[in-house]
Structure 1
Amino acid sequence: MRTDPYFWESPCAQRYLINRPPGRVPPPPVEQGAPAWVASVGAVSSGEQYVRLTVQGTGEETVVVEGLTVRVAGKRSPLAWNDFAMGYPGVGCGGDVPKRSFSVALDAARPAVVPEAGDRDFPFKVSESDPEVYYISADASAYDVSWYLELKWSSGSRSGTLALDDRGRPFRTSGNNGRPAHEFPLGGDGWVPEGTTTLDE
């Protein structure tokens, strides 16, 4: 079982809230460097968070993944921090919608994992030689939400539930409405207000 809480659907889709002025925030990382970058500046996923789950059996027996449940560990007012967009304006930011995609509306009274249009819902079967990868898009607008997932599984007479989080801590996603937004121009030397960069600069 592998959980990637800092997977990016596309570079330009990812945003983070940081409790620092722009002059004290380093340039945006590449996706592989996101976990270390997030930790170094205390960033929180802004508006949306993409989580990639890789599920694989450990033996010859087939494991049935029965479903995913959202557990909310805390819900507060959105963070009043600065908002920073990843990627660079004017640079290609395309991304394909991956298979096995699900969404979670964290603002809901009872958030649930819902398959994206065209995708089927649980259960799924996995084995040691046939893993499954699930992509979870969780969005928040009205709250700062701490949350995690529980994966229910069964294999023959055995069954259980796994808690999925960010290395022992809940995932955290906060709404960003009205927050000062910033972007980092390609070739630039600092963050600027979002929307002020022109492609011929």
Structure 2
Amino acid sequence: MTLQGTGDETVVLNAMRVRTLRSGPPLAWDAYIMGVGCGGNVPAEGFTTDLDAPRPALKPLSGQRDFPYKVSASDPEVFYVTANTTAHDVTWCLEIDWSSGDRHGTLRVTDAGTPFRTAPAKNRPTWQWPPGDTAWGPEVKG
């Protein structure tokens, strides 16, 4: 995700956390791998979370720093968040606490208003759509 201020004022991103909305048994259907292929060379801050934990927490990837960060209209920040689960079907979102001058709030991050949903693919038929292909095909391992 890319976070950017709307004006010249600096916005401090004080904290980001995972909010679990629902956790249930794994799904009994096929799995689809999204994001197969290579990405661009965009500097980004990386975080990971274990959605199977009783209280999932974001952890910076090795060598990355934790919050706070700052953004403005001319100084955006890109974050990659990788959420993993091996045992549950989890519906979740991110919450970012921010402040700018005497204003502050919490931004809820979803997929256009719909919470994210992550489930394990272990022991499930798994499909992918690699760049250049024209259809879903079986996952290519290795």
TM-score (norm 1): 0.61
Which structure dedicates a bigger proportion of its chain to strand? 2
Query: Aligned equivalents of 2:4 and 2:81: distance in 1?
Result: 17
Conserved? CA contact 2:91–2:115, under 8 Å: yes
Q: CA deviation at 1:167?
A: 1.4
> Is 2:20 the partner of 1:112?
no
Query: Aligned equivalents of 2:113 and 2:134: distance in 1?
Result: 37
SS of the residue 1:104 aligns to: strand
1:72 to 4, 20, 27: 20
Amino acid at match of 1:113: L
Q: CA deviation at 1:94?
A: 4.7
SS of the residue 1:65 aligns to: strand
Query: Aligned equivalents of 2:76 and 2:49: distance in 1?
Result: 23
> Is 2:83 the partner of 1:138?
yes
| C-alpha RMSD of matched pairs (Å) | 2.7
SS of the residue 1:80 aligns to: coil
Which structure dedicates a bigger proportion of its chain to helix? 1
Q: CA deviation at 1:195?
A: 5.7
**Unaligned stretches of 5+ in structure 2?**
none
Give 1:123's aligned residue: 68
User: For the structure 1 residues 189 and 112, does the alpha-carbon distance in structure 2 shift closer, same or farther, using more than 3 Å as the test?
Assistant: closer
Give 2:29's aligned residue: 81
Give 1:172's aligned residue: 117
Conserved? CA contact 1:98–1:135, under 8 Å: no
Query: Aligned equivalents of 1:189 and 1:55: distance in 2?
Result: 33
SS of the residue 2:12 aligns to: strand
User: For the structure 1 residues 74 and 58, does the alpha-carbon distance in structure 2 shift closer, same or farther, using more than 3 Å as the test?
Assistant: same
Relative contact order, CA 8 A, sep 6+: which one is greater?
2
Kindly name which structure, 1 or 2, has the bigger radius of gyration based on alpha carbons: 1
Amino acid at match of 1:174: A
Matched residue count: 139
Q: CA deviation at 1:171?
A: 0.3
Q: CA deviation at 1:176?
A: 1.5
The within-5 A match list for 1:12-27 is none
Q: CA deviation at 1:178?
A: 1.0
User: For the structure 1 residues 118 and 167, does the alpha-carbon distance in structure 2 shift closer, same or farther, using more than 3 Å as the test?
Assistant: same
Percent identity among equivalent residues?
48
User: For the structure 1 residues 175 and 163, does the alpha-carbon distance in structure 2 shift closer, same or farther, using more than 3 Å as the test?
Assistant: same
**Unaligned stretches of 5+ in structure 1?**
1-52, 197-201
Amino acid at match of 2:4: Q
